[in-house]
A and B are shown apart, each in its own frame.
Chain A
Amino acid sequence: MSILSLTAVELSDKIKKGEIKVTQALDEVFAQIDAKEKQLNCYVTLEKEKAYAQAEEVQKKIDSGELTGPLAGVPFAIKDNMCTEGTLTTCSSKILENFVPTFTAEAVKNLEAAGAVIIGKTNMDEFAMGSTTETSYYGVTRNPHNPEHVPGGSSGGSAAAVAADECFAALGSDTGGSIRQPASFCGVVGMKPTYGTVSRYGLIAYGSSLDQIGPLTKDVRDCATILETIASHDSKDSTSIPRKDTDFTTALVDDVKGMRIGIPRDYFGEGLDPQVKEAVLAAAQVLKEKGAIVEEFDLSLVEYAIPTYYTIAAAEASSNLERFDGIKYGYRASEYEGLHHMYKKTRSEGFGPEVKRRIMLGSFVLSSGYYDAYYLKALRVKALIKKAFDEAFAKYDVILGPVAPTTAPKLGESLADPIKMYLGDIYTIAVNLAGLPGISLPCGKDEKGLPIGLQLIGDCFREKKLIRMAYSYEQSRGGRS
């Protein structure tokens, strides 16, 4: 069995037993990167030297017994919107082409403290705006299952790197499905925890009230283990929530007897690819056979999720991205006359079209005279969506549905029609609006051999129910796919 086929937890076990050296794991990963990266383009930045130096440190600490955790020695990839001290952090944008942070994001720090070795920063849609990783300034990332197709997005680089064994696990961020959808398209596991579970300190904000960091992994065990490691109460993030129930690995139990599953009819209507529908319903059947109680219900308000999301996320983004002005860091236009011209040229040249579209949309919905009609209304709908979920979770432990209406589209298909691309987020974004946890895991492939994802949604702070159900389902499929 090759080292690359091991999960993160399996690899760490062998490293701690002395069967594999950390540098050996790195050798394998960088060999795989050399072989695949030219075609896939999962990474914006690779830090080979730093990774080997870090590996030596970690190896020493493992040998001395200082590091004993389940992720010690595991090579990780980090989405390029998380700050890493001394390492280029671009958000896949030209405007941050030369930005080297002075501090490391809290979630990455937590990983490093657990003995993870960071090998590089993964490609993404520019500032996490997009669903295909095609809006990156640093080129598209391709789907390891079929390079003619997108890996999904915005955490497409992280998902593809895990799927292509270019790392053992990765961190992504999810504002409207940016972890779950690429996980689904690339056939890996991806989880967005409850808002406030993982510190956002050091995550370059897109939609602050919706952004959460989460893992992209080879299996559910890795997913639970990493989430347990990165979850922390951080006094530097006012929206961080102190939780005592982050021992997520205790939920890795193969038993769903008596668990109540709600299937929202609204998630299976028009626009859903029949093959995706079939695979997802088959997964529900498997869980039912394992003793879960499965019921259909009407979630309601689903059609409002997309306009609500694009109003709120764009509004926040338009403000969050104001700091990129060429004054303090990042790209600055080379020629300009005066301050305002410098701002204008820098931002016109530094941002790509999708980012500009959302800045304009966000500025519009916040402008005086439109604030009440758009932004304020969107906040009210957001509250109603949360209420609809509250009612559902009074009856069900878990809501089960597809992650995306289709499998991964071909490169170039989505960008031609942004509205269609936005509609592709229909099953994932309500989860962010309501602050809920959601997990995406593989449940089959379509006739073209592209992975299909199953989405499980839980109530706030009920990640353990998701992990338990996802793990049980994975076990019945004979472990990881």
Chain B
Amino acid sequence: MKQYETVIGLEVHVELATKTKIFCGCSTAFGGAPNTHTCPVCTGMPGSLPVLNKQVVEYAIAVGLATNCEITRYCKFDRKNYFYPDNPQNYQISQLYLPICHDGYVEIDTPAGPKKVGIHEIHMEEDAGKLIHDEWEDCSLVDYNRSGVPLIEIVSEPDMRSADEVIAYLEKLRLIVQYLGASDCKLQEGSMRADVNLSVREVGSEKFGTRTEMKNLNSFKAIARAIEGERARQIELLEEGKSVIQETRRWDDNKEYSYAMRSKEDARDYRYFPDPDLVPVFISEEWLEKIKSAQPELRTEKMKRYKEEYDIPDYDIEIITGSKHMADLFEACVAICKQPKKVSNWLMVETMRLLKEQEMEPEEIRFSPQHLADLIMMVDKKEINSTVAKEVFAQMFDHDEDPTAYVEAHGLKSQNDAVELKKIVENIIAANPQSVEDYHNGKQKAIGFLVGQTMKATAGKADPGTVNQLLKQLL
């Protein structure tokens, strides 16, 4: 068999985190009853007109700047015409001729060292509504709550050569966008969607092969599997002397196979033209400067600062800054309790363990920085011991339980009253003469038994270290 190289380019759609839609004042919030976040504009009522949401432009520019793009200072919106019921006007407002950002790159790490993946362009557009097929009634219903939610589409150059590079690129892009606060980038919820353009060619060939576009990829794992699957399918075709057809394919992750949706021959003619209802967007020097100066700290800068400011291990920094949400949580928590090392430990050990156990992403962490800080301070003050702390933390992790209230309600406060504790220890010594004797005979294990008995007597609320000391003293 010949040696083949895979050539991959991505089209990534990111739903922007604006409060309102791109061309009207409707809410972008998830989960409203069908057609409750709608108005004449986003339902395509006759006579309605779009008005551009400025925040969308600012987010798009912020992403463009963070991905080293040129910003198009005079950009326009175009109409993409096609009939489908989820698209209330039967045209989508998008950008074809003058997209807002172009010619950028992001750098990814590969086994061969750092590599630049080119960004062809970033453009702004509106999302469509959602069709719901009612089998029972044999009809289709349409919900326009998502219609008009702002998107940016980030189109890469065909610079990637493997699934690993694709995942590295997507991870990088996701972090950049998350750090900018421009989107939460959740693949499962569809706030980040990637279409994969893939072709294969013989190693050493200058010419690109015929590419296919794959849709319906909603996790990094699915993307990796789809790339492997499509690569194998194309190579098989070529090896059989057949040719790859330029077409759009839909990936079925359960069957691990892609199906042809439409070929180039029946590609739609979208009849793009500038939208006459919108005026061109002119991005002035001042506006651009304002956006530049408002750019938040990105990951690389944050990692550098953590090293200088917090003195925690590189590995911890890597993990914590690997999620914007986790980094925010870390900083907010440190600001309250001033103990970076301890906060980092809770995140690195218990948090990561529970995340893994419950198959959750760091973005899904629910507990508040205040509650983690409270917990750390309670341990510091020896109000609870570390075993209790772990139990309380599990509650916090599940439903952001207030640790102070939980400890109070469940009577988990440490038995630290010295007089009280001394009485209990004296009782334990009196009740276990054999162990006392063993201890005096040099059996170190015996003290462990006595500590255990004391802990039992205090229902686990005493501090084991204190008990140990007290025992030694009294014996």
For A209, list chain B residues within 8 Å (CB). Answer: 276
B49 pairs with A89, CB closer than 8 A: no
B43 pairs with A366, CB closer than 8 A: no
A319 pairs with B47, CB closer than 8 A: no
CA distance A480 to B40 in the complex (A): 41
Specify the chain B residue showing the minimal Cβ separation from A91: B46
B52 pairs with A238, CB closer than 8 A: yes
Whole-angstrom distance between the Cβ of A194 and the nearest chain B Cβ: 15
Contact of A367 among B52, B269, B278, B279 (CB under 8 A): B269
CA distance A367 to B267 in the complex (A): 13
Whether B158 is near chain A, meaning CB under 8 Å from some CB there, is: no
Contact of A325 among B51, B81, B83 (CB under 8 A): B83
Q: Per-residue 0/1 for B270-281: is the Cβ within 8 Å of any A Cβ (1 yes, 0 no)?
A: 011100111100
For A103, list chain B residues within 8 Å (CB). Answer: 40, 45, 47
A residues 19-74 near B (Cβ < 8 Å) are none
Whether A76 is near chain B, meaning CB under 8 Å from some CB there, is: no
Contact of B47 among A204, A235, A315 (CB under 8 A): A204
A96 pairs with B46, CB closer than 8 A: yes
B90 pairs with A102, CB closer than 8 A: no
For A270, list chain B residues within 8 Å (CB). Answer: none
CA distance A239 to B43 in the complex (A): 20
Whole-angstrom distance between the Cβ of B50 and the nearest chain A Cβ: 7
Whether B142 is near chain A, meaning CB under 8 Å from some CB there, is: yes
Whether B79 is near chain A, meaning CB under 8 Å from some CB there, is: yes
B89 pairs with A323, CB closer than 8 A: yes
Whole-angstrom distance between the Cβ of B75 and the nearest chain A Cβ: 14
CA distance A324 to B269 in the complex (A): 19
Contact of B269 among A83, A202, A235, A368 (CB under 8 A): A368
For A363, list chain B residues within 8 Å (CB). Answer: 271
Whether B345 is near chain A, meaning CB under 8 Å from some CB there, is: no
CA distance A135 to B162 in the complex (A): 60
CA distance A236 to B41 in the complex (A): 10
CA distance A210 to B49 in the complex (A): 15
Specify the chain A residue showing the minimal Cβ separation from B271: A366
Contact of A322 among B83, B142, B273 (CB under 8 A): B83
A208 pairs with B47, CB closer than 8 A: no
For B45, list chain A residues within 8 Å (CB). Answer: 101-103, 328-329
Whether A268 is near chain B, meaning CB under 8 Å from some CB there, is: no
Most central of B79, B269, B276 by chain A CB within 10 Å: B276
For B85, list chain A residues within 8 Å (CB). Answer: 325, 327, 339
Q: Per-residue 0/1 for B42-63: is the Cβ within 8 Å of any A Cβ (1 yes, 0 no)?
A: 0111111111100000000000
Knowing A102-B45, A319-B273, A323-B44 touch, does A238 contact B51 (C-beta < 8 A)?
yes
B271 pairs with A323, CB closer than 8 A: no
CA distance A2 to B16 in the complex (A): 63
A238 pairs with B91, CB closer than 8 A: no
Q: Per-residue 0/1 for B240-281: is the Cβ within 8 Å of any A Cβ (1 yes, 0 no)?
A: 000000000000000000000000000001011100111100
Knowing A201-B47, A238-B51, A343-B83 touch, does A328 contact B88 (C-beta < 8 A)?
yes
Whole-angstrom distance between the Cβ of A295 and the nearest chain B Cβ: 35
Whether A430 is near chain B, meaning CB under 8 Å from some CB there, is: no
Whole-angstrom distance between the Cβ of A205 and the nearest chain B Cβ: 8
Most central of B47, B52, B88, B278 by chain A CB within 10 Å: B47
Knowing A238-B278, A322-B90, A323-B90 touch, does A203 contact B47 (C-beta < 8 A)?
yes
A105 pairs with B47, CB closer than 8 A: yes
Specify the chain B residue showing the minimal Cβ separation from A237: B49
A322 pairs with B47, CB closer than 8 A: no
A residues 69-107 near B (Cβ < 8 Å) are 82-83, 89, 91, 96, 99, 101-103, 105
Knowing A238-B52, A319-B81 touch, does A99 contact B46 (C-beta < 8 A)?
yes
How many A residues touch B, CB cutoff 8 Å?
44
B89 pairs with A322, CB closer than 8 A: yes
Q: Per-residue 0/1 for B28-47: is the Cβ within 8 Å of any A Cβ (1 yes, 0 no)?
A: 00000000000010011111
Contact of A315 among B49, B52, B273, B278 (CB under 8 A): B273
CA distance A89 to B47 in the complex (A): 11
A375 pairs with B273, CB closer than 8 A: yes
B91 pairs with A319, CB closer than 8 A: yes
B88 pairs with A102, CB closer than 8 A: no
CA distance A99 to B46 in the complex (A): 9
CA distance A386 to B24 in the complex (A): 32
Whole-angstrom distance between the Cβ of A389 and the nearest chain B Cβ: 20
For B269, list chain A residues within 8 Å (CB). Answer: 367-368
A residues 218-276 near B (Cβ < 8 Å) are 235-239
B46 pairs with A239, CB closer than 8 A: no
Q: Per-residue 0/1 for A164-186: is the Cβ within 8 Å of any B Cβ (1 yes, 0 no)?
A: 00000000000000000000000
CA distance A319 to B44 in the complex (A): 12
CA distance A89 to B46 in the complex (A): 10
Whether A464 is near chain B, meaning CB under 8 Å from some CB there, is: no
CA distance A319 to B82 in the complex (A): 9
Whole-angstrom distance between the Cβ of B459 and the nearest chain A Cβ: 65
For B50, list chain A residues within 8 Å (CB). Answer: 238
A236 pairs with B51, CB closer than 8 A: yes
Whole-angstrom distance between the Cβ of B458 and the nearest chain A Cβ: 68
Whether A465 is near chain B, meaning CB under 8 Å from some CB there, is: no
CA distance A240 to B273 in the complex (A): 21
CA distance A103 to B43 in the complex (A): 13
Knowing A343-B83, A366-B273 touch, does A83 contact B51 (C-beta < 8 A)?
no
Knowing A102-B40, A239-B279, A327-B142 touch, does A201 contact B273 (C-beta < 8 A)?
no
For A329, list chain B residues within 8 Å (CB). Answer: 45-46
For A322, list chain B residues within 8 Å (CB). Answer: 81, 83, 89-91
Whole-angstrom distance between the Cβ of B381 and the nearest chain A Cβ: 56
Whole-angstrom distance between the Cβ of B51 and the nearest chain A Cβ: 5
For B89, list chain A residues within 8 Å (CB). Answer: 322-323
A202 pairs with B91, CB closer than 8 A: no
For A343, list chain B residues within 8 Å (CB). Answer: 83
B46 pairs with A236, CB closer than 8 A: no
Whole-angstrom distance between the Cβ of A263 and the nearest chain B Cβ: 32
Whole-angstrom distance between the Cβ of B138 and the nearest chain A Cβ: 12
Whether A200 is near chain B, meaning CB under 8 Å from some CB there, is: yes
Most central of A101, A102, A325 by chain B CB within 10 Å: A325
CA distance A91 to B142 in the complex (A): 26
For A126, list chain B residues within 8 Å (CB). Answer: none
Whole-angstrom distance between the Cβ of B217 and the nearest chain A Cβ: 26
Specify the chain A residue showing the minimal Cβ separation from B44: A323
Specify the chain B residue showing the minimal Cβ separation from A102: B40
Whole-angstrom distance between the Cβ of A78 and the nearest chain B Cβ: 12
CA distance A451 to B45 in the complex (A): 38
Contact of A239 among B91, B271, B273, B277 (CB under 8 A): B277
B residues 110-167 near A (Cβ < 8 Å) are 142
Most central of A315, A316, A322 by chain B CB within 10 Å: A322
CA distance A367 to B269 in the complex (A): 7
For A208, list chain B residues within 8 Å (CB). Answer: 276-277
A235 pairs with B88, CB closer than 8 A: no
A83 pairs with B46, CB closer than 8 A: yes
Knowing A101-B45, A325-B83, A327-B85 touch, does A238 contact B271 (C-beta < 8 A)?
no
For B90, list chain A residues within 8 Å (CB). Answer: 322-323, 325
For B44, list chain A residues within 8 Å (CB). Answer: 323, 328
A201 pairs with B142, CB closer than 8 A: no
A101 pairs with B47, CB closer than 8 A: yes
Having A89-B46, A201-B49, A319-B91, one finds 9 other A-B pairs with CB under 8 Å, namely: A83-B46, A89-B47, A200-B49, A239-B276, A239-B279, A322-B81, A329-B45, A366-B271, A366-B272
10 closest residue pairs by CB, A with B: A322-B90, A209-B276, A366-B271, A208-B276, A202-B47, A83-B47, A204-B46, A323-B44, A323-B89, A204-B47
Q: What are some 23 contacts across the A-B interface (CB < 8 A)?
A: A101-B45, A101-B46, A103-B40, A202-B48, A203-B47, A205-B277, A236-B49, A238-B52, A238-B277, A239-B276, A316-B273, A322-B89, A325-B83, A325-B85, A339-B85, A340-B83, A363-B271, A366-B81, A366-B271, A367-B269, A367-B271, A368-B271, A371-B273
Residues of B within 8 A of A (CB): 40, 43-52, 79, 81, 83, 85, 88-91, 142, 269, 271-273, 276-279
